[in-house]
Amino acid sequence: MARSDHPSSELAIAEASGDLETLIRSALFIAVFLMLWITTRPFPDLTNLPEVSVAGDLTNQIGYSMLFLLLATWCLLHAPSRLASLVRPILVLTLLWLALTVLTSWEPALSARRFAFTLVTIGIAAMVILLPRNVRHFGDLMAAAVLIVLAVCYLGVLLAPARAIHQATDFLEPDLAGDWRGVFGHKNEASAAMVIFIFIGLFVGHVRSVAIGGLISALAFVFLLFTHSKTSIAVLPLVLVVSVVMSRLRNPLTGIALALSILVAFNILSVGSIYFEPVRNLLDTVLADSSFSGRNDVWQFATDRLMERPLTGYGFSAFWGTEEVVYGMSGNAVWANTAGHAHNGYLDVALTVGIPGSLLVALWLVVLPLVDYYRSPREAESAPLQMLFLRVCLFAAYASCFESMLIESGAVALFLFSSAFAMRLLSVTRAIP
C-alpha cells in the first residue's frame, strides 16, 4: 500500500510546487504593471499649485525597490542565464554614458537619485518578462492587469469625475476641462496607456480569447477618444498600418528603412519646423494650429538651452522642474521654462544627457528592436508576441516626436524597456517569455 501511494504523493507534491511557483510568477507580474499604471497615488488632485520640488515620491520608490528585490531573488534562482542574455553592448554603453552625465550634471545629487531609480526601473523591465511560463500565460496576465486598470479608470470617471476628468479648476491646464485622464495625472499619459492597452487587447485576442481581447481594445479605444489626445489618436492607426506592412516585407532593410524614415519625417515636422521655413510654411497651409498647441515655444526654448551644453546636457533627468529652470530661465518664451518636458522625447533626452546620449537611447530603444524583430524566428506561436512588442516600440518612437515617452514617461517607459528586452530575447533564443 505504501509503495503504491509513493508515486502519487510525489506527483501531488510536484503539482503543488508548480502551482505555487505559477502563483508567485503571476503575482509578481501583475504587481509590476499595477504599480506602473495605477501607481501609489492614483487620481491626483490637480487643483492646487504644484510644488517646485526635486524630491521623489518616497512611497513609489519603496514600492519599486521592493519589486526589484523580489524579482532579482526570483531571477537568480530561476533564470540567471536568460537574464544575462538581455545585456547587450549598446545597453552597457548607454548606461555608462548616462552615468557620466550624472557626474557632469549641474545637480549631481538629483541626477544620481533619479539615475538610481531608472536603473531599478530598467532592471524590473528586464526581469518581469521572464516571469510568464509561455505566450498564453503572458496573455492571461496582461489581460488581468489591463482589465483591472481599465475598471479603475472607468469607475473613477463614473464615481469621482473631479479626480478622473480634467476640470476647469485645474491649476495648470484648465483648458483641458472635460478630457478624461482616469487614474493618471494627465490626459496625454492616459491616452498613451490606452494605445498600449489596445495593442495588448489585439494580442490577447490572438493568443487567448477573441472576446476578452476585443473587450480590452474596445474599452481602451473609447477611453482614448475621450482623452481627446491628438498625438495618440493620430499615431495609433499609423502604427497599426506600419507594423502590418513590416510583417509582410521580406527584406529587413526595407522594413527598417520604412519605420525610420517616418520617424525622421515626424521630427522634421515637429522640432524641424522652428528652423526650416519650407516646413513651417507647409504646416501653416495644412494645419489649423501649426504651433502644435504651443509646442514650438517649448522646442525653441529647449533647443536653445541644448546648444549651450550639447555634449553631456544638464545632467541625467535634471532640467525640467528644477528651480534654476523654472525661476532662472525664460528665454524668448516667457512660459516655456515652466513646461514639464520638451514635448519631444529625443530632444528631452538630449537636453539632459547630451546629443550622444540621445543617439544611444534611440539606438537601444528604437533602432535595435526593429533589427531584432527581423532577426527573430518566424514562428506561429511567437508572432503575436513579436507584433505586440514591435507596436509598442513604434508607438513610443513616433509619439515621442510630440511627447516625451522614451525614459521618463510613467505610463510608457517601463513597458517600452520590457518590449526592447523582449525583442532581444526573442531574437537570441527560441524560449518564449
Query: 331's torsion region: left (phi>0), alpha (psi -120 to 50) or beta?
Result: left
Distances (CA, A) of 342 to 137, 361, 399: 38, 16, 13
CA distance 408 to 186: 14
CA distance 47 to 173: 10
The DSSP code for 174 is: G
pLDDT at 318: 85
pLDDT at 219: 98
CA distance 97 to 280: 34
For 429, counting Cβ atoms within 10 Å of its Cβ (0-12 exposed, 13-18 middle, 19+ buried), the class is middle
C-beta of residue 220 within 8 angstroms of C-beta of residue 253: no
CA distance 412 to 196: 8
C-beta of residue 202 within 8 angstroms of C-beta of residue 217: yes
Q: Which residue has cell 497599426? A: 240
Query: Can you say how many angstroms the Cα of residue 355 is from the centroid of all Cα atoms in its chain?
Result: 21
Q: In 3D, which of 18, 19, 32, 20 has the Cα closest to residue 128?
A: 32
CA distance 367 to 104: 27
Q: What secondary structure does DSSP assign to 258-300, as a single string?
A: HHHHHHHHHHHHTGGGGT-HHHHHHHHHH-S-TTTTTHHHHHH
Task: State the amino acid at position 293 in one-letter form.
Answer: S
pLDDT at 31: 95
Mean pLDDT, each 10-residue run in order, the chain (433 residues): 52 60 93 92 81 64 92 89 89 96 92 92 95 93 97 96 92 88 92 97 95 97 96 96 94 95 92 83 74 76 89 88 67 57 87 94 96 88 93 96 80 92 87 46
3-state secondary structure at position 191: helix
Q: Which residue has cell 514650438? A: 296
pLDDT at 3: 45
CA distance 56 to 109: 12
Q: In 3D, which of 65, 78, 87, 66 has the Cα closest to residue 25?
A: 78
pLDDT at 285: 79
Query: φ, ψ for residue 165 (rounded to 5)?
Result: -130, 135
3-state helix, strand, coil in the chain (%, to 5): 70, 0, 30
CB atoms closer than 10 angstroms to residue 60: 15
pLDDT at 266: 92
